[in-house]
């Protein structure tokens, strides 16, 4: 009798469970959109997700943020096994091109989100970089930028004051003299994380934008113009930073992150190559001078010749987002993914990121809702203005990029002359199929 | 009849043994054999899937590949030689002269092994750093700050600089293994050797060292594998630079595969690393066997 009752209860439970499983998801169940990236940092991403989910209760965003190296490996494995998430974070150029076969074309999506003239919302350098490496004739977009950056040099005002300097250097001669004074005052004059190849390239480009901006822009897109006089002149100036002891000794063994950034934040360094993303330090530090940036200032590479003009700004896409073909498997998920993309680039998501000063907005007209201290607001506004005229800052072809890193490090180590190093990069660019 | 029954039992037993071994064999096939085979195939095709030897031809003409290969060999030779010499020397000193403090010293020397390589890399990058590093500070206090070398910034010294960090981290393991080996040496044998006049260096050279040869062979094999697969220290301390001077096959596989997105070329380099590892380890085993035969 007991056994019969037990069996009856078990059968009833199974029927109920079966009915539950067979019932379709309620209309109110949120659609899940999966997002993978290496940036922004997890707290910022979480704040963005909370804002997006609050604005769209019918969408659930499931994000995974990993360090870039681990992210690259995960992405490759996921792409190979057909398990990509719906939205992925991308750098312009090689990374976007690598996953292009798995990415949806976004020009039409952007038009549906922001109108037919949607491109006016993005600076020219951002639109240019977003399409770096597209096959000839393909003008579509496979990733759209959420945030932009300006690359420049920062200086620590108390160090300059202690060294008897009243502002950043305006010429190369002043840069060399200032470095000597900063060293004498007990500071690392100009910290360069030379082992971090990306920063070597950025400093080189920040010089080349002064010596031959057009060749620089062409070189970034793969043209073999590395032996043009202006490009070699920039390499000579790069060499001078080592030979005239502007960079600290052993710069080629130093890393920009975390060591360089930490030393700069600790007030041990006079000058360093960073960019607009450094503004996020205001949210991470309790030091008054950092919290308001009152102890810090920015400058572009000084004029190489007396009486010359300092370099103009370089910059472009910090990071962007692509929608993968995985999302297209379900109309609901695809629709939700487009909404998430919209919110991350121009909506509540981006506003959250901006309030944490994660970097600069790629989409025009958005600004932080918080009131910034005057000095910080001035730096921020300058960056926004520079974004409109900045030259691009990415070498589109990763093989040429690596060749440039090797050449610049060889110059710094005294193994190659600037002429020989640029000739080697030129040979790589030619081998990669670039045409003069 | 009993013999036939025995054979049947043996056959039945063999089948059971295979059944028991099957999970491990399956794991071995899926996670070891298949990736090796897949990697070899990847190295022999181009981006369009056509069979080609171009990836190996590219390696033959790629100067960075030869730098990486040379550095990998330097890593094995220098790293294993220093770890063995320091491990044997310290192990002997601890076992012979401070046996009561053996546990303490073994623990202290083993501690670096449990520190994650990323932390080790960060600490030693700072220690080596000119201008603000610990060693620079010592030089500076002696008035020699101006002549302090940029160890990791100079292509001539960078590889050795990273290898020394690896030796620092791993020699504690060698000390530990030699201490264990020495603890198993028969004391009566040592006393007998001493009576026969074998003392000091002669005792070490002709008695202790041969007795520890099995441990040495194992340590050399382990050290070789560790040196060949070393990646985090190099990547985090120099990223293979300056100017590719510290690339090894392991770091160059990463650079070609994941930075330059040349997976087929990276697979070819991985095959070279596989063959190199296999070759060195086979040579070491052959050497170990020859020495044991000579001792017998």
Tell me the shortest Cα–Cα distance from A406 to chain B, in angstroms: 4
What is the per-residue pLDDT for A26? Answer: 47
Q: What is the largest CA-CA distance in chain A?
A: 104
pLDDT: which is higher, B139 or A173: A173
pLDDT: which is higher, A176 or B136: A176
Q: Which helix (H) or strand (E) holds A314?
A: strand A314-323
Instruction: Please list the residues that pair with A145 across neighbouring strands.
Output: A320
Averaged over B42-47, what is the pLDDT? 92
Tell me the shortest Cα–Cα distance from B260 to chain A, in angstroms: 5
Cα nearest neighbour of B148 on chain A = A249
Cα nearest neighbour of B129 on chain A = A250
Assess contact for B153 and A251: CB atoms under 8 A. Answer: yes
CA gyration radius, chain A = 25
Query: For B246, phi and psi rounded to 5 degrees?
Result: -110, 15
How far, in Å, CA of A191 to CA of A257, rounded? 11
Domains and CATH numbers, chain B: 53-118+158-295 (1.10.3720.10)
What ipTM does this complex have? Answer: 0.73
**Of the candidates B270, B230, B239, which has an alpha carbon nearest to the alpha carbon of residue B80?**
B230
Averaged over B147-154, what is the pLDDT? 85
What is the per-residue pLDDT for A228? Answer: 98
For residue A69, the tally of other CB atoms under 10 A from its CB is 13
In this complex, do A252 and B242 lie within 8 Å of one another by their Cβ atoms?
A: yes
What is the per-residue pLDDT for A139? Answer: 93
- Tens digits of residue pLDDT in A297-337: 999 999 999 988 888 899 999 999 999 999 988 999 999 99
Token output for B129: 């750093």
Interface of A with B (CB under 8 A): 69, 72-73, 76, 94, 98, 188, 194-197, 248-255, 258-259, 263, 268, 398-399, 402, 405-407, 409-410, 412-413, 415-416
In this complex, do B244 and A398 lie within 8 Å of one another by their Cβ atoms?
A: no
- Tens digits of residue pLDDT in A12-34: 444 444 444 444 444 568 999 99
How far, in Å, CA of A369 to CA of A357, rounded? 11
Q: How many CB pairs under 8 A join A and B?
A: 98
How far, in Å, CA of B151 to CA of B245, rounded? 12
Q: Which contacts of B258-266 are long-range, i.e. CB under 8 A and separated by 24 or more positions? A: B258/A69, B258/A72, B258/A73, B258/A76, B259/A398, B259/A402, B260/A398, B260/A399, B260/A402, B261/A94, B261/A98, B261/A398, B262/A399, B263/B42, B264/B42, B264/B43, B264/B45, B264/B46, B264/B47, B264/B55, B265/B55, B265/B58, B265/B59
- Tens digits of residue pLDDT in A203-227: 999 999 999 999 999 999 999 999 9
Domains and CATH numbers, chain A: 31-147+316-389 (3.40.190.10), 149-314+393-431 (3.40.190.10)
Place of tokens 């996921």: A78
What is the per-residue pLDDT for A382? Answer: 96
Token output for B280: 């060195």
In this complex, do B261 and A398 lie within 8 Å of one another by their Cβ atoms?
A: yes
In this complex, do A398 and B259 lie within 8 Å of one another by their Cβ atoms?
A: yes
How far, in Å, CA of B67 to CA of B234, rounded? 14
Averaged over A267-280, what is the pLDDT? 95
- C-alpha dist (Å) from residue A273 to A156, A199, A262, A296, B172: 12, 7, 13, 13, 40
What is the per-residue pLDDT for B159? Answer: 96
| Beta-strand runs (E) in A25-121 | 31-37, 59-65, 87-90
Q: Which helix (H) or strand (E) holds A148?
A: strand A144-156
- Tens digits of residue pLDDT in B170-186: 999 999 999 999 988 88
- C-alpha dist (Å) from residue A421 to A7, A189, A405: 82, 26, 10
Whether A63 shows a pLDDT value over 60: the answer reads yes
How far, in Å, CA of A69 to CA of A410, rounded? 25
How far, in Å, CA of A137 to CA of A128, rounded? 14
Averaged over B12-38, what is the pLDDT? 90
Site from A159, A182, A183, A253 to mutate, B interface, most B CB atoms within 10 angstroms: A253
What is the per-residue pLDDT for B15? Answer: 82
What is the per-residue pLDDT for A254? Answer: 87
- Tens digits of residue pLDDT in B213-250: 889 989 999 999 999 999 999 998 988 989 999 999 99
What is the DSSP code string of A200-223? HHHHHHHHHHHH-HHHHHHHHTT-
What is the per-residue pLDDT for A323? Answer: 97
Whether B114 shows a pLDDT value over 80: the answer reads yes
Q: Residue A197 is nearest to which of B129, B155, B239, comparing CB atoms?
A: B239
How far, in Å, CA of B167 to CA of B170, rounded? 5
Whether B35 and chain A come into contact, CB under 8 Å, resolves to no
- Helix, strand, coil abundance in chain A, percent, nearest 5: 55, 15, 30
- Tens digits of residue pLDDT in B186-199: 888 888 888 888 78
> Taking the CA of residue A206 as centre, how many other CA atoms within 13 Å lie in the half-sphere pointing to its CB?
22
Whether A10 shows a pLDDT value over 50: the answer reads no
For residue B8, the tally of other CB atoms under 10 A from its CB is 10
How far, in Å, CA of A359 to CA of A348, rounded? 15
What is the per-residue pLDDT for A27? Answer: 52
pLDDT more than 70, % of chain B: 95
Whether B118 and chain A come into contact, CB under 8 Å, resolves to no
Tell me the shortest Cα–Cα distance from B125 to chain A, in angstroms: 7
What is the per-residue pLDDT for A272? Answer: 98
What is the DSSP code string of A395-421? -S-HHHHHHHHHHHHHHHTTSS-HHHH
- C-alpha dist (Å) from residue B59 to A295, B159, B269, B271: 51, 21, 7, 11
Whether B5 shows a pLDDT value over 70: the answer reads no
How far, in Å, CA of A311 to CA of A152, rounded? 10
Query: For A357, phi and psi rounded to 5 degrees?
Result: 50, 45
- Per-chain mean pLDDT for chain A: 90
- Tens digits of residue pLDDT in A240-267: 999 999 999 889 988 888 889 989 999 9
Q: Which residues on chain A are in Cβ contact (under 8 Å) with B255?
A: 402
The vertex-B17 CA angle with B13 and B19, nearest 5°, equals 115
pLDDT more than 90, % of chain B: 53
Q: Residue B153 is nearest to which of A98, A250, A416, comparing CB atoms?
A: A250
Averaged over A408-425, what is the pLDDT? 96
Q: Which residues on chain B are in Cβ contact (under 8 Å) with A406?
A: 64, 241, 243-244
pLDDT: which is higher, A263 or A239: A239
What is the per-residue pLDDT for A1? Answer: 39
How far, in Å, CA of A101 to CA of A109, rounded? 17
What is the per-residue pLDDT for B187? Answer: 84
**Of the candidates B136, B135, B154, which has an alpha carbon nearest to the alpha carbon of residue A188?**
B136
pLDDT more than 90, % of chain A: 73
What is the per-residue pLDDT for A283? Answer: 85
pLDDT: which is higher, B144 or B222: B222
């Amino acid at each position: 009798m007991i056994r019969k009752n037990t069996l009856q209860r078990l059968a009833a439970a199974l029927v109920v469970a079966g009915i539950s499983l067979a019932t379709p998801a309620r209309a109110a169940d949120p659609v899940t959109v999966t997002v993978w990236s290496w940036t922004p940092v997890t707290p910022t991403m979480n704040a963005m997700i909370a804002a997006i989910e609050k604005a769209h209760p019918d969408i659930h965003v499931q994000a995974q943020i990993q360090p870039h190296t681990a992210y690259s490996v995960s992405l490759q494995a996921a792409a190979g096994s057909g398990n990509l998430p719906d939205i992925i974070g991308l750098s312009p150029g090689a990374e976007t091109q690598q996953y292009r076969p798995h990415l949806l074309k976004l020009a039409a999506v952007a038009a549906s989100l922001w109108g037919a003239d949607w491109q006016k919302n993005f600076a020219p350098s951002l639109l240019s970089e977003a399409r770096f490496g597209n096959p000839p004739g393909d003008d579509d977009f496979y990733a759209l930028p959420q945030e932009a950056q300006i690359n420049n040099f920062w200086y620590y005002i108390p160090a300059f004051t202690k060294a008897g300097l009243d502002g950043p250097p305006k010429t190369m001669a002043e840069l060399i003299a200032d470095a000597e004074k900063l060293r004498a005052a007990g500071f690392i004059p100009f910290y360069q994380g030379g082992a971090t190849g990306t920063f070597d390239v950025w400093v080189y480009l920040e010089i080349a934008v002064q010596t031959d901006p057009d060749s620089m822009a062409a070189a970034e897109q793969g043209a073999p113009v590395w032996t043009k006089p202006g490009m070699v002149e920039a390499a000579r100036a790069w060499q001078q930073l080592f030979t005239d002891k502007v960079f600290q000794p052993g710069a080629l063994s130093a890393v920009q992150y975390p060591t360089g950034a930490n030393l700069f934040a600790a007030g041990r360094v006079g000058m360093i190559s960073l960019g607009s993303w450094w503004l996020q330090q205001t949210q991470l530090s309790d030091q008054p001078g950092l919290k308001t940036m009152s102890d810090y200032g920015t400058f572009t590479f000084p004029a190489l010749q007396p009486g010359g003009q300092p370099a103009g700004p370089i910059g472009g896409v910090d990071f962007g987002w692509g929608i993968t073909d995985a999302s297209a498997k379900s109309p609901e998920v695809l629709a939700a993914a487009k909404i998430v993309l919209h919110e991350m680039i121009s909506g509540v998501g981006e506003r959250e990121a901006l309030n944490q000063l994660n970097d600069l907005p790629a989409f025009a007209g958005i600004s932080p809702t918080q009131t910034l201290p005057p000095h910080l607001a001035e730096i921020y506004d300058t960056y926004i203005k520079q974004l409109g005229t900045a030259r691009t800052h990415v070498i589109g072809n990763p093989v040429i990029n690596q060749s440039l890193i090797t050449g610049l490090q060889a110059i710094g180590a005294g193994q190659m002359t600037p002429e020989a190093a640029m000739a080697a990069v030129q040979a790589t660019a030619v081998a990669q199929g670039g045409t003069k | 009849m009993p013999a036939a029954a025995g054979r049947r039992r043996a056959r039945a037993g063999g089948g059971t043994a295979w059944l028991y071994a099957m999970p491990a064999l399956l794991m071995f096939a899926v996670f070891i054999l298949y990736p090796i085979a897949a990697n070899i195939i990847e190295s022999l095709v181009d981006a369009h899937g056509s069979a080609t030897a171009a990836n190996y031809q590219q390696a033959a003409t790629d100067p960075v590949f030869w730098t990486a290969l040379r550095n990998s060999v330097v890593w094995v030779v220098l790293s294993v030689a220093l770890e063995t010499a320091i491990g044997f020397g310290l192990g002997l000193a601890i076992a012979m002269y401070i046996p009561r403090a053996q546990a303490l010293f073994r623990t202290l020397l083993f501690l670096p092994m449990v520190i994650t390589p990323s932390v080790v890399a960060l600490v030693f990058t700072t220690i080596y750093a000119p201008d603000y590093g610990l060693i620079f500070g010592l030089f500076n206090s002696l008035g020699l700050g101006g002549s302090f070398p940029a160890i990791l910034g100079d292509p001539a010294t960078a590889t050795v600089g990273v290898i020394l960090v690896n030796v620092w981290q791993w020699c504690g393991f060698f000390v530990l293994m030699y201490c264990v080996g020495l603890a198993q040496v028969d004391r009566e044998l040592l006393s007998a050797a001493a009576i026969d006049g074998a003392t000091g260096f002669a005792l070490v050279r002709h008695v202790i060292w041969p007795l520890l040869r099995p441990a040495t062979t194992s340590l050399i094999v382990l050290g070789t594998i560790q040196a060949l697969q070393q990646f985090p220290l190099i990547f985090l301390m120099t990223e293979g630079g300056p100017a590719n001077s510290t690339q090894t096959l392991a770091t160059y596989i990463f650079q070609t595969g994941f930075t330059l997105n040349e997976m087929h070329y990276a697979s070819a380099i991985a095959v070279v690393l596989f063959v190199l590892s296999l070759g060195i380890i086979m040579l070491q085993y052959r050497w170990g066997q020859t020495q044991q035969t000579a001792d017998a």
